[in-house]
Structure 1
Amino acid sequence: MEQLTTQKAAFLDVITDRRSVRHYDPSVKISRDEITEMLKEATLAPSSSNLQPWRFLVIDDQELKEKLLPIAFNQQQVVDASAVIAILGDYEGFKAAETIYSKAVDAGYMNEEVKSSLIQNINSRYSNREREVIKQIALVDGGLVAMQLMLVAKARGYDTVPMGGYNPAKFKEAFNISDRYETIMLIALGKAAQPGHPTVRLDVEDITFWNEMPASVSGK
């Protein structure tokens, strides 16, 4: 019980201490090995049909961060953070189903019959699916892995800020990203030079409803 209490307290520290940090210590460099470990932990996040359509473009070269700066509307964290991680959604992510479910078979999580059935269903659902539907799935899954990455980083003593303030078209052009990928967000990753400012939240009682939406907020 004591161990569980300690683990819960540590988790609460992570989620309560996380802030959107915009001022980074440019002298702090995070190794590619550690960034890779953080991404591996982040990808434990859930995704639709476990297809994991997220892809990551890690920008840690200083010249490339300088190239990104005007595309991200000159937000200083782009060049001061150790890295900027672009969260992308793969419109063809469903094609990895064979690899994913073969690994599940090898791990003993399912048999070949179940694997074949799942892959058949996925191919039939995704092969002719509207691009907008696949985009919406990728946006949800990308948001899940992005949040997990930010918490993983905080648990390791690093800071982050999710960034929607950039020009997606110019970003894709500058970094040679094809239309196979949807840009979801950028995440600056590094060590805070100044702490992120505290914020407030709406009272959960005001935004939570049980079993049905009251007439006053349902639009009826």
Structure 2
Amino acid sequence: MQHAKVISIERDNKDVFTLVFDSKISAEPGQFIMIWVPGGKEIPMSLSSTSNPPAITFRTFGETTRTLATLKPGDRLFFRGPYGNSYPRPTGKVAYVGGGTGLASLNSMILKYDGDVFAGARTKDDLFLIKDGYKVATDDGSLGFKGTVVDLFVPHLSEYDYVFVCGPEPMVKTLIDRLDKKTKTRIFFSLERLMKCGIGICDSCSINGIRVCKDGTIFELQEVLKMTEFGISRRRESGKIEFFATAKR
């Protein structure tokens, strides 16, 4: 377990924060760390910047993230990692597609490789890390395209050589279902799953026996297509199997 001091923390919207910490961690875009603060559980966190100093961008949803949001410059946090594989280096025309907090993981790539960014949220108040030129979709039409980021992006797929995607599993499943499976575009997904260990032991993140934390978290389209459980079911913290509300069974 390593420890680091907080350099800065900024609120990106009502419940999303970006925290920069003092560490010379050697990480590549797409990798994650297991982070812990006293009073919370150890949780996985994508790096929204892999430069020095590194950063994490997170939504407050549990004990650990709520505690992280209260930290001040000089406070300490603890982490293991980095873990997992990384996004491949792209060539040609690039697109990034992010929903939920998926833009946090993609941001580490966006900072290194230029591309068109498609970002989606329920409302304009839920957006974060948005810059001029980004293509934005909101469910209620309060900013940009009215609809989902999937609706916004899919008609443009053939324009790109490389596409990187991160978001909630139902969103990613919807995107995959609507893609031309014979596309020549190389599409990579950063998958989000419950993780307890981060090193492939506990099996909580497993999809069809594939350990997302150890074998991923980055998978190419053809790999995800073989995951018959993806977008259908997942394990809860108790180990119980839960089916997604949108799943077709």
TM-score for both structures, normalised by structure 1? 0.23
* Higher RCO (C-alpha under 8 Å, 6+ residues apart): 1
Query: Quick check: which one's helix share is greater?
Result: 1
Larger strand percent = 2
Higher-Rg structure is 1
Q: TM-score, normalised by structure 2?
A: 0.21
